A = this chain, B = another copy of it.
Amino acid sequence: MTGSFRLERLGGWGVTAAEGFLAGATYAGIKGEHAAFKLDLGLLYSEVPAESAGTFTTSRIPGQPVKVSRARIGRPVRAVIVNSGCANVATGEEGLHNALEMTQLAAQKLGIDPMEVLVASTGVIGTQLPMGRIRAAVPRIVLSREGGAEFAKAITTTDSRTKEIAFEVWTDAGSFRIGGAAKGAGMIHPNMATMLAFITTDAAVVPGFLQSSLREAVEATFNQIDIDGDMSTSDTVFLLANGRSGVGPIGPESPLAEAFRSALGEVCLHLAKEIARDGEGARHLIQVTVGGARTLAEARQAARAVASSVSLKAAVYGRDPNWGRVVAALGASGVEVDESRLTIRLGEFTLFREGRPVPFERDAARRYLESPEVEFVVNLNLGSHQASAWASDLTEEYVRLNSVYTT
């Protein structure tokens, strides 16, 4: 039995929308004393122990915080400490020690066990964290229900804006909340490339179901976005469920399972699209939907391949309805394609149908490409599976940003 449910967007809320979560941030000076004043150290706290789930980068050279948090995920946690400005990657034993100390500093402040603290870092690779400044800064953080916005700001690096979302989920068995914050911008690619996301809910959720629901949501959303093809050493998504709403426990057989999965999926989708939209220098969000695939895995792979095409991204920036680059990317995707069945649309314009180019109004298509969101729809006509992927366009501004970003 699946109960009915309804999502209500809670404007202006993020990681602290759910009951019992507090957050805050401060300026520690992690990029150096002379760096522009910007919040760079955030803390998220649950008043009661929360079940935890997480997904991490698949890089063979993961950041030190990834190593620490991966070992703790799946058990109840109370807090997450995060910094921007330094990724704490390729920093050897000293870096590992520093990641552990960050969890100890948070635990001291909060009067909890360090094992109940998760950690994440984002920023430059290969420099050590300025631990003196972090030791001085952690006690200064003020936690509150209103601190979610500061937390969202503290995790950003080259992001042009913060990324937050929250919903109230109304069900027959009462309501619960779910919300989150993320950072992204450069180096975004499938398989959790540099991005951080922190999601909280006050529903009670069975740990195994929490992890499987997160994995499923991440695969359909964060793993389907691309900005520049890089995969980061630091990608992390955390999901904490503290049960404070009194709704649950929700497991795979619960009538609320679908409501929870849907709400989590919406949170991830919103944050993933926000990340793609805010790609460094980006002007457009490109959505690529591939239908008619033989399997879901092939639909996702094909959509990602098209969304990852550097030359297609440059074409979108130039408002050039260059469907040939869609063909090239599909052909190279490794997915089964039968040219004689293939159809490609750009918004309302059919560009290619069953193996043949279709004449279309080029000027109108160019005008469509001025929209902030543009969509390519591919039908492989080989099966019934469908998936989407999202990317930013490639602009001269991206190159400028990435040729001067300090090591």
**A interface with B by C-beta (< 8 Å):** 57-62, 87, 89-92, 124-127, 186-187, 189, 191, 193-194, 228-233, 308-311, 314-315, 317-325, 327-337, 339-340, 342, 352, 355-357, 394-396, 398-400, 402-407
Tell me whether A61 and B331 are in contact in the complex, defined as CB-CB below 8 angstroms, given that A355-B90, A355-B92, A405-B320 are known contacts. yes
Can you give 20 A-B contacts (C-beta < 8 A)? A60-B334, A61-B342, A90-B324, A90-B357, A91-B357, A92-B355, A125-B324, A189-B332, A230-B325, A310-B310, A310-B402, A317-B399, A318-B403, A319-B403, A320-B406, A321-B407, A322-B405, A324-B407, A394-B402, A396-B400
Contacts of A356 in B (CB 8 A): 91-92
Give, as a whole number of angstroms, the nearest-CB distance from A308 to chain B: 7
CA distance A323 to B318 in the complex (A): 31
CA distance A87 to B331 in the complex (A): 14
Indicate if the CB atoms of A230 and B336 lie closer than 8 Å: no
Indicate if the CB atoms of A315 and B402 lie closer than 8 Å: yes
Residue of B nearest to A339 (CB): B61
Indicate if the CB atoms of A331 and B59 lie closer than 8 Å: yes
Tell me whether A403 and B90 are in contact in the complex, defined as CB-CB below 8 angstroms, given that A61-B330, A127-B357, A231-B332 are known contacts. no
CA distance A381 to B278 in the complex (A): 38
CA distance A180 to B147 in the complex (A): 65
Indicate if the CB atoms of A309 and B230 lie closer than 8 Å: yes
CA distance A58 to B331 in the complex (A): 8
Contacts of A352 in B (CB 8 A): 90, 126
CA distance A381 to B173 in the complex (A): 59
Complex partner residue of A399 from B124, B231, B322, B399, CB under 8 angstroms:
B399
CA distance A394 to B402 in the complex (A): 10
Indicate if the CB atoms of A126 and B407 lie closer than 8 Å: no
Count of this chain's copies in the oligomeric assembly:
2
Residue of B nearest to A189 (CB): B332
Indicate if the CB atoms of A402 and B331 lie closer than 8 Å: no
Contacts of A124 in B (CB 8 A): 324
Indicate if the CB atoms of A230 and B328 lie closer than 8 Å: yes
Give, as a whole number of angstroms, the nearest-CB distance from A400 to chain B: 6
Given A61-B330, A61-B331, A320-B403; 9 other pairs, CB 8 A cutoff = A61-B339, A90-B357, A191-B332, A228-B310, A230-B309, A231-B331, A314-B399, A314-B403, A318-B403
Contacts of A92 in B (CB 8 A): 339-340, 355-356
Tell me whether A328 and B60 are in contact in the complex, defined as CB-CB below 8 angstroms, given that A311-B230, A314-B403 are known contacts. no
Residue of B nearest to A356 (CB): B92
Give, as a whole number of angstroms, the nearest-CB distance from A159 to chain B: 16
Residue of B nearest to A334 (CB): B60
Contacts of A327 in B (CB 8 A): 61, 89-90, 125-126, 233
CA distance A59 to B396 in the complex (A): 29
Contacts of A317 in B (CB 8 A): 399, 403
Contacts of A311 in B (CB 8 A): 186-187, 228, 230, 402
Residue of B nearest to A394 (CB): B399
Tell me whether A229 and B229 are in contact in the complex, defined as CB-CB below 8 angstroms, given that A315-B402, A327-B90, A407-B323 are known contacts. yes
CA distance A404 to B396 in the complex (A): 13
**A308, A320, A324 pick with most chain B CB within 10 angstroms:** A324
Contacts of A309 in B (CB 8 A): 229-230
CA distance A395 to B396 in the complex (A): 8
Contacts of A228 in B (CB 8 A): 310-311
Indicate if the CB atoms of A402 and B318 lie closer than 8 Å: yes
Contacts of A310 in B (CB 8 A): 228-230, 310, 402
Residue of B nearest to A309 (CB): B230
Residue of B nearest to A87 (CB): B324
Indicate if the CB atoms of B331 and A60 lie closer than 8 Å: yes
CA distance A340 to B87 in the complex (A): 17
Tell me whether A229 and B126 are in contact in the complex, defined as CB-CB below 8 angstroms, given that A89-B327, A405-B320 are known contacts. no
